[in-house]
Amino acid sequence: MDLAFKILLIIHLLSLVAGGATGVAMPLLARQAAKAEPETRAMLMSIGARLSTNSRIALLFMIASGFAMLWLRYGGNPAALGPWFLAKLGFVGIILAATAIALVLGRERINPRLFGMVTTLSLLAIIVSSVMTFS
**Which residue, among 52, 94, 82, 85, has the nearest Cα to 67 in the 3D structure?**
85
- In one-letter notation, the amino acid at residue 91 is F
Q: What is the pLDDT of residues 29-86, one digit of tens each?
A: 888 888 999 999 999 989 988 998 998 899 899 999 999 999 999 999 999 999 999 9
Q: How far apart are CA 129 and CA 46, in angstroms?
A: 34
Q: How far apart are CA 5 and CA 11, in angstroms?
A: 10
Q: How far apart are CA 60 and CA 41, in angstroms?
A: 29
pLDDT of residue 4 exceeding 80, the answer is yes
pLDDT at 119: 83
Is 15 exposed, middle or buried (CB count within 10 Å of its CB: 0-12, 13-18, 19+)?
Answer: buried
Can you point out the beta strands (E) in 31-95?
none
The pTM of the full predicted model, rounded to 2 decimals, is 0.78
Q: How far apart are CA 57 and CA 87, in angstroms?
A: 23
